[in-house]
Homo-oligomer: A and B are copies of this chain.
Amino acid sequence: MSFEVTILGNSSASPGPNRHPSGQYVSICDHHVLIDCGEGTQMQLQKFKIKKSKISQIFITHVHGDHILGLPGLLLSMNLMRHEHPLHIYGPKELFEILAVFFKHSEMDFNFPLHYHELDTTQSITIFENLYYKVKTFPLYHRIPTVGFLFEERSILKKLNAEACLKLKIPFTHFNNIKMGKDYISPEGKVTPNEELTFPSGQPLNYAYCSDTAYDERLIPAIEGVDYLYHEATFMHDKLERAEQTMHSTAKQAGMIAKKANVNNLIIGHFSSRYDDLQPLLDEAKTEFENTEIAEEGRMFIIE
């Protein structure tokens, strides 16, 4: 099962000549979702040859412009391209008010089912789960209501021992139940325990997305031990005062959170447009947490 994160933008509020506002494309077990959607996200998807038509869910952390201003245009283009599948958008309730006013005045009618899911930004909640993955929110600490997202493979789903199932001539219609941990009961009433039909599960892989947020250790329980953590690093630590004023983090602070939360890997992004060279931000985060990487635009991180 693949689990990949592609970076579409790594800039904070103002884009640079080759830097774009926040957006990430996540593929998880053949499902394709977007996290945040800054201005130009649809152009970045084109540039990296990612098909808009595959996206089934969009998760928005908060309604600052650099996280949402690409969303109306993306929806407009999906509509024109005759998108057919349902699209689910998760975000703070203010997002839907903004979209509603725009859609009303531009007289937009959608050809595909569009479902809005208002998020409670004050607590950690499981907002989606299917057989393959689940998505949880957790509060971030920013100037307006903001949430982070945790994407997690579902540990409940076990790997089928196909050979054992074939030997017992178990009909494939039972496979999902077996993957979900159930024993098999034959038409004659004979029970085969689940552990004889599946392989032992490994730890479920997970990815936590934190943008934008002040340095705040209350985050730690929500992201503890994740395989990959994306944490904003808008400033170098010599701009700590500015980071505190604007409720953003420094690269050093991103490293501190990663260390304290005992994660495996850290990706830093959301860099202020004052930084042309991102290496010093990486170096600074690494003083706290060695396994750090830059959210380079176009780069795909494979979570495994």
Q: Which residues of A contact B (CB under 8 A)?
A: 13-17, 20-21, 39-40, 42-43, 46-47, 63-66, 69-70, 72-73, 76-77, 80-81, 94-95, 97-98, 101-102, 105-108, 143-144
- Given A13-B80, A65-B76, A107-B144: 5 more A-B contacts, CB < 8 Å: A15-B46, A39-B39, A63-B102, A65-B102, A97-B101
A42 touching B43 by the CB < 8 A rule? no
Residues in B with CB closer than 8 Å to A76 are 13-14, 65-66
> Which residue of chain B is the closest to A70 with respect to CB atoms?
B39
A46 to B66, CA, bound (A): 17
User: In the complex, which of the residues B40, B69, B77 contacts A72, with contact meaning CB atoms closer than 8 Å?
Assistant: B69
Q: Which residues of B contact A66 (CB under 8 A)?
A: 73, 76
Cross-chain pairs A/B with CB under 8 angstroms, 24 sampled:
A13-B76, A14-B76, A14-B77, A14-B80, A14-B81, A15-B73, A16-B46, A17-B46, A40-B43, A63-B105, A63-B106, A64-B106, A65-B72, A65-B102, A65-B106, A65-B108, A69-B72, A69-B73, A94-B105, A95-B105, A97-B101, A106-B144, A107-B143, A107-B144
Cβ-defined contact, B98 with A102, below 8 A? yes
Closest approach, in angstroms, between the C-beta of A187 and any C-beta of chain B?
A: 55
In the complex, residue of chain B having the shortest beta-carbon distance to the beta carbon of A102: B98
Q: Given the interface contacts A80-B13, A144-B106, does A69 sit within 8 Å of B39 by beta carbon?
A: yes
Q: Do B39 and A73 touch (CB < 8 A)?
A: yes
CA distance A13 to B20 in the complex (A): 21
Which of the listed residues A43, A73, A143 has the most CB atoms from chain B within 10 Å of its own CB?
A: A73
**In the complex, chain B residues whose CB is within 8 Å of the CB of A69:** 39, 69, 72-73
The answer to whether residues A15 and B77 also contact, given A72-B69, A105-B144 and a CB cut-off of 8 A, is yes
